[in-house]
Chains A and B, each alone.
Chain A
């Protein structure tokens, strides 16, 4: 059931990275700007200004292709730290209106302003104030959607792009969606769209009027979801962002591990996963905990605390191996190995260390690997020592 009384605002910063670059360097404002990797084999567009989009440049497009479409574009490698700082400033501004905020990504957020009317006025007015303040105080253009649920608020801001503010009044949910092409509906990818077209459905309104059993027959469980969405129904709740207390991975083996070498190899894999998640959350941790479960199910956990927080695979692994070697006895049979990192702090622009310049190098390496895995999947890169480990996992 859609709870009619709910009012949600979705805010999306328009061409965020490119807008920040314009802000930092007003001389290039209005020109086609591409923020992304170099035009070498691997660079992709992270963000493109609207001037560049006019040439057909899109996010996630290989930079080389983007530059063919728009050769005069200004290519900027980008600075995630700065974008992240500015994103935090936007989030801080949003927090002034409600604590119920879900940060969807670096440039997107959902606010639940139900019940804020008496304090700030109707949701539409709050949205307008936010849009004006983000522009005036932070210099960033944004698009906002106001609706009774997450789905509609998000779709409304999308429709208003760029610089728009679209309100879906209560009761008008289905009417708002009806004329939009089905591709715009959340959860409808190219494959689903094609099958819908085959059923003669082009607009969301047509989807809403297909018999439910036909949809379920055609799409299984997704059919029911699509039907509800087509009617503008979505009662998922906001998940306000919480910082994780610890990040970790563990693995139970079908066959007990009996050699230190084997355990170390798996430990490395676990540390890399944990490190990657840590970096994904933009966190660093100080305490490394290793968990070992013996074949008789007795479990041992041992931790060690580093002098400085880290998010580096190698540092985490070194510490974990250190702990493991301390506890390892010949003849041990392990059925589970786990690693977790706690004592977490957000990764601020960090002070580089004097003695361990190795860390700075590792940091660049880790990020490069993360990026490749992000794009090509987990298997794209592996340490030589982990090759062959996957089969036994």
Chain B
């Protein structure tokens, strides 16, 4: 393998794929990034066997070939080079990659490309096209509810449910649930449900947001993976994120979303978020408990009161105007969860539907029918 490319491009490409490099790994080669010539471009790939990121960048190929290079050293080295042309050459005899840029040279030990896992690339005919901004928001709103703790692996993923002209994404960590649906540009040939690791989706969201390109999605026929393809990356070539799917049955989330409420509280999202942030300062040392009190107004606007107390810190009470339908009530939530959801909503107002202090609270952005978020309250009564 022998090629030249620009330092800025290589550096950018390494930054894109570098996020998939395994931190602690069972195979030594997973600490490496794959470099391969591919149709007169340089292909970079990294994977932790759960998420794979591949990107292609413009390069002058003199000799075809492939190898893998330790990620950390390569990234740090390339980032410290001047923005000029880099020449790369694989010396097969010594199993080293020779790099030369301006007046700096280096030889880095490689591992044979044969040892690198086979990462599927290329989009198939049966694909679904998603718009980047909608996709990014959808992923952000849904994955915030996914579990980070591995004790129930299935909850570390998000369910993607394709039905005709609609995609529904759902995630839950055992205490909260996010469900968001989006229309598809064309109907899917057959209904399909897969569970995608939340971390992979977040990578897709990040790349989609950075590149601003539509994302094509395909599920290769073996149905073990899902592949996201962005055609025109800033580097001149496509970017792909491939994720292993999670096996198993996702819990039936639909039955968790309450169908009725006793109190519906509509407030300004920003004000709610600010009040929640202040309350959390005080709730941090007290299990993050933030108490919400809904008081309907008699002829005047009602109010939503947020209160938090911590033994060593003090206490805080904040009040915001609210339109309240139904009866007065009190309920407590984990303040962290409140902030997570309010941060992810961009509508001016949010509605909170509640029934009893121990039944789920439902958050809906006002004017957006496609998103619903459910949080279980904290138990404060006897």
Binding site for B on A (CB under 8 A): 77-82, 85, 88-89, 92, 307-308, 348-355, 357, 360, 363, 367
Contacts and interface: CB of A to CB of B under 8 A. Distances in A.
A354 B175 contact: yes
A77 B381 CA distance: 10
A307 B311 contact: no
Contact of A352 (B286, B287, B309, B379): B379
Contact of B172 (A81, A352, A355): A355
B334 A81 contact: no
Contacts of A348: 287
Contact of B174 (A350, A354, A360): A354
B380 A351 contact: no
14 contacts: A80-B382, A81-B380, A82-B380, A85-B311, A307-B152, A308-B174, A348-B287, A349-B380, A351-B175, A352-B377, A354-B172, A354-B256, A355-B172, A355-B174
Interface in B355-382: 358-360, 374, 376-382
A171 B152 CA distance: 65
A350 B374 contact: no
A153 B342 CA distance: 53
B289 A349 contact: yes
A349 B174 contact: no
A184 B359 CA distance: 47
Contacts of A350: 378-379
A42 to B, nearest CB: 14
A354 B374 contact: yes
Nearest to B312: A92
Given A350-B379, A354-B360, 20 more contacts: A77-B382, A80-B382, A81-B380, A82-B380, A85-B286, A85-B309, A88-B311, A307-B151, A307-B174, A308-B174, A349-B332, A349-B378, A349-B379, A349-B380, A352-B378, A354-B172, A354-B174, A354-B256, A355-B256, A363-B379
Contacts of A351: 175, 334, 376, 378-379
Contacts of B358: 352, 360
Contacts of B377: 352
B367 to A, nearest CB: 26
A363 B358 CA distance: 11
Contacts of B312: 92
A308 B151 CA distance: 10
Contacts of A307: 151-152, 174
Given A307-B151, A352-B358, A79 B174 contact: no
Contacts of B359: 357
Across the A-B interface, give the 3 residue pairs with the lowest CB-CB distance, nearest first.
A352-B376, A307-B151, A348-B287
B26 to A, nearest CB: 24
A168 B338 CA distance: 53
Interface string B160-193: 0000000000001111110000000000000000
A354 B177 contact: yes
B251 interface: yes
A89 B377 CA distance: 24
Contact of B381 (A79, A85, A357): A79
Contact of B311 (A77, A79, A89, A357): A89
B355 to A, nearest CB: 12
A392 B177 CA distance: 48
A31 B378 CA distance: 31
A363 B359 CA distance: 14
A350 B334 CA distance: 10
A78 B332 CA distance: 16
A89 B287 CA distance: 15
A363 B381 CA distance: 12
A92 B286 CA distance: 14
Contacts of A80: 382
Contacts of A367: 382
Contacts of B382: 77-81, 367
A353 B378 contact: no
Nearest to B379: A350
B354 to A, nearest CB: 13
Contacts of B172: 354-355
Interface string B327-371: 000001010000000000000000000000011100000000000
Nearest to B381: A79
B1 to A, nearest CB: 48
Nearest to A82: B380
A92 B287 CA distance: 17
Given A89-B311, A92-B311, A360-B358, A354 B381 contact: no
B176 A354 contact: yes
Contacts of B177: 354
Nearest to B309: A85
- Give the residue among A78, A81, A353 with the most B Cβ atoms within 10 A: A81
Nearest to A368: B382
Contacts of B378: 349-352
Contacts of A349: 287, 289, 332, 378-380
Contacts of B376: 351-354
Contacts of A354: 172-177, 256, 360, 374, 376
A360 B358 CA distance: 8
A2 B102 CA distance: 90
Contacts of A79: 380-382
A353 B174 contact: yes
B136 to A, nearest CB: 25
Nearest to B172: A354
Contacts of B173: 354
Contacts of A308: 174
A339 B382 CA distance: 27
Contacts of A357: 359
A308 B309 CA distance: 25
A372 to B, nearest CB: 14
A284 to B, nearest CB: 12
A184 B278 CA distance: 50
